[in-house]
């Protein structure tokens, strides 16, 4: 009786409760996912540990493991896709978080345009992608270190930007604090920020906005 699955959520929010695996034991994760997989065709579990996969798969054979994004995914009835979310990242080391966002939004029913490693130290790399960014409904911009990418993009493209600071960096980066503060203080309007390394939350919100833009409420 350690977990009360929030069954209303599928109704309220259009997607069943997503399981946050950090801090849960393998047994707890299996019990929760098992029970949910009997009721919902699609599932998402975040921040999973690789060594839990085999045991989970034993109980739910068609569950998949996405190693970069650290996700378990069940996708028996793929959602029909509509509209485009751009997921961009400043550096290569931001990939796990960018992929967490991309896969979340994809599973929920968005097309994804991934554009990675276009950080501001070589800002010209961003310019050749401006058209693609205007063609998406919403942009998820992921960056560590100084975290300036989301603000620069928001200054150039008239789309909502969801900024995701990552813990990539060292020293006065303070595990992502520096990138977080940069994004919160951006002078460009049209931007909002999620928690450090919260690719899931950004992908989820991006899909919500994309859906609205495609006329679904």
Ligand X SMILES: Nc1ncnc2c1ncn2[C@@H]1O[C@H](COP(=O)(O)O)[C@@H](O)[C@H]1O
Q: According to the binding rule CB under 8 A, does residue 117 interact with a second copy?
A: yes
Considering only residues 178 through 197, tell me which ones interact with a second copy, judged by CB under 8 A. 178-197
Tell me the CB-side half-sphere exposure of residue 27, using CA atoms within 13 A: 2
Q: According to the binding rule CB under 8 A, does residue 162 interact with a second copy?
A: yes
Cα 23 to Cα 2: distance, rounded to the nearest angstrom:
13
Segment contacting a second copy by CB under 8 A, of 35-43, 52-60, 73-81, 89-97? 89-97
Instruction: Quickly list DSSP for 31-66.
Output: HHHHHHHTT-SEEEEES--GGGHHHHHHHSTT-EEE
Segment contacting ligand X by CB under 6 A, of 59-67, 106-114, 193-201, 207-215? 193-201
Q: According to the binding rule CB under 5 A, does residue 117 interact with Mg ion?
A: yes
Name the closest residue to ligand X (Cβ).
91
Q: Least distance from C-beta 215 to ligand X, angstroms?
A: 25
Contact 158, 81 (CB under 8 A): no
Measured from the CB atom, is 28 or 57 closer to a second copy? 28
Q: According to the binding rule CB under 8 A, does residue 212 interact with a second copy?
A: yes
Q: According to the binding rule CB under 5 A, does residue 214 interact with Mg ion?
A: no
Which residue in the set 47, 66, 81, 129 belongs to the binding site for ligand X (CB under 6 A)? 47
Q: Least distance from C-beta 217 to ligand X, angstroms?
A: 20
Phi, psi of 23 (to 5 degrees): 85, -5
Segment contacting ligand X by CB under 6 A, of 53-61, 85-93, 159-167, 173-181? 85-93
- The contacts found for 179-186 with CB under 8 angstroms, 24 or more apart, are 179/143, 179/144, 179/145, 179/146, 179/147, 180/147, 181/147, 182/146, 182/147, 182/148, 182/151, 183/143, 183/147, 183/150, 183/151, 186/150, 186/151, 186/154
Cα 106 to Cα 86: distance, rounded to the nearest angstrom:
11
Which residue in the set 89, 193, 198, 211 belongs to the binding site for ligand X (CB under 6 A)? 198
State the residues that interact with Mg ion by CB under 5 A.
91, 117
In the complex, the residues that contact ligand X under the rule CB under 6 A are 17-20, 46-47, 91-93, 117, 119, 121, 187, 189, 198, 200-201
């Amino acid at each position: 009786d350690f977990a009360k699955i929030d069954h209303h959520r599928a109704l309220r929010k259009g997607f069943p409760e997503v399981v946050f695996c950090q801090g849960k034991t393998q047994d707890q994760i299996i019990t929760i996912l098992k029970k949910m997989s009997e009721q919902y065709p699609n599932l998402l579990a975040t921040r999973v540990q690789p060594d839990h996969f085999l045991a989970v798969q034993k109980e739910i054979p068609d569950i998949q493991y996405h190693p970069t994004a650290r996700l378990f995914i069940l996708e028996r009835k793929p959602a029909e896709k509509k509209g485009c979310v751009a997921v961009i990242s400043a550096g290569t080391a931001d990939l796990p978080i960018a992929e967490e966002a991309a896969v979340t939004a994809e599973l929920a029913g968005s097309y994804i345009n991934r554009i990675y490693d276009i950080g501001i130290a070589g800002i010209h790399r961003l310019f050749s992608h401006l058209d693609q960014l205007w063609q998406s409904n919403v942009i998820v911009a992921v960056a560590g270190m100084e975290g300036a990418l989301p603000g620069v993009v928001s200054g150039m493209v008239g789309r909502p930007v969801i900024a995701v600071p990552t813990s990539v960096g060292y020293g006065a980066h303070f595990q992502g604090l520096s990138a977080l503060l940069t994004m919160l203080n951006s002078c460009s309007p049209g931007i909002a920020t999620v928690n450090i390394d919260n690719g899931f939350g950004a992908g989820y919100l991006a899909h919500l906005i994309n859906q609205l833009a495609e006329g679904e409420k």
